[in-house]
Chain A
């Protein structure tokens, strides 16, 4: 059960927009609209940022948005802020009650 593919790192300056990709297959990302995104600051519990491809939980800033095209999902952070610096993971449903996370992306605010 290989992980979904994410870039190892993405960086941007404060105020800029960045996009993190999450590439899978037709058996996971491409086959279902059940992609979620998590922000993880080391030593803390992960936080749900996006669910079902593009929905934001209450309390999550509207600077975070999600989308999907084919087998690739994307998380965009607009108006990048210092507190956005963290690791980000996508997760997808993969049939038969199984799930898979992405390999993770370290976001650095320059």
Chain B
């Protein structure tokens, strides 16, 4: 059974940093592109960032470019999202998700999701 377990959320002041982790099990992590999606309170889903299976390629939504860095450690089956210079508008539940078809990547959809971790940016 595929499991994705996010951690690292919490309350942080504007300008602060947090690192989210997503521990994966039940599939070959090193073969799968991974993604972070967030949902701000009362808002819709927003794609944040995706990374290739090897970690050599990634993409970001414009609003987090230069502030967030996505990485992965395939030896630990873990995905990381380093979030710096946090803003109030980054407040959201952050979900980790895996690509549906390994060979196609995130373009094939996101077939397994974690339960999410809440990030609150507030003074």
For chain A, the bracket of interface size reads 20 to 34
B119 to chain A, nearest CB (A): 17
Task: Tell me, in angstroms, the Cα distance from A100 to B59 when the chains sit together.
Answer: 12
Query: B107 interface residue, CB < 8 Å from A?
Result: yes
Across the interface, do A48 and B110 meet the contact criterion of CB distance under 8 Å?
A: yes
Task: Tell me, in angstroms, the Cα distance from A87 to B45 when the chains sit together.
Answer: 10
Across the interface, do A34 and B107 meet the contact criterion of CB distance under 8 Å?
A: yes
Contacts of B109 in A (CB 8 A): 36, 48, 50-52, 57, 91
Across the interface, do B114 and A45 meet the contact criterion of CB distance under 8 Å?
A: yes
Contacts of B63 in A (CB 8 A): 1
In the complex, what residue of chain B is closest to A87 when comparing beta carbons?
B44
Known: A57-B100, A97-B58. Contact between A46 and B45, CB under 8 A?
Answer: yes
Q: Which of A12-20, A71-79, A101-109 contacts B (4 or more CB under 8 A)?
A: A101-109
Query: A64 interface residue, CB < 8 Å from B?
Result: no
Contacts of A38 in B (CB 8 A): 45, 110
Across the interface, do B113 and A46 meet the contact criterion of CB distance under 8 Å?
A: yes
Contacts of A32 in B (CB 8 A): 107
Across the interface, do B45 and A104 meet the contact criterion of CB distance under 8 Å?
A: yes
Across the interface, do A91 and B47 meet the contact criterion of CB distance under 8 Å?
A: yes
Across the interface, do A102 and B59 meet the contact criterion of CB distance under 8 Å?
A: no
Query: B89 interface residue, CB < 8 Å from A?
Result: no
In the complex, what residue of chain A is closest to B106 when comparing beta carbons?
A99
Task: Tell me, in angstroms, the Cα distance from A36 to B107 when the chains sit together.
Answer: 8
Query: A69 interface residue, CB < 8 Å from B?
Result: no
In the complex, what residue of chain A is closest to B57 when comparing beta carbons?
A97
In the complex, what residue of chain A is closest to B58 when comparing beta carbons?
A97
B116 to chain A, nearest CB (A): 7
Interface CB pairs A-B, < 8 A, 29: A34-B107, A36-B100, A36-B109, A36-B110, A38-B110, A40-B45, A45-B114, A46-B45, A46-B110, A46-B113, A47-B113, A48-B100, A52-B104, A52-B107, A52-B109, A89-B44, A89-B45, A91-B45, A91-B47, A91-B109, A93-B107, A97-B57, A97-B58, A97-B59, A98-B59, A99-B50, A101-B37, A101-B44, A101-B47
Residues of B within 8 A of A (CB): 35, 37, 44-47, 50, 57-63, 95, 97, 100-101, 104, 106-111, 113-116
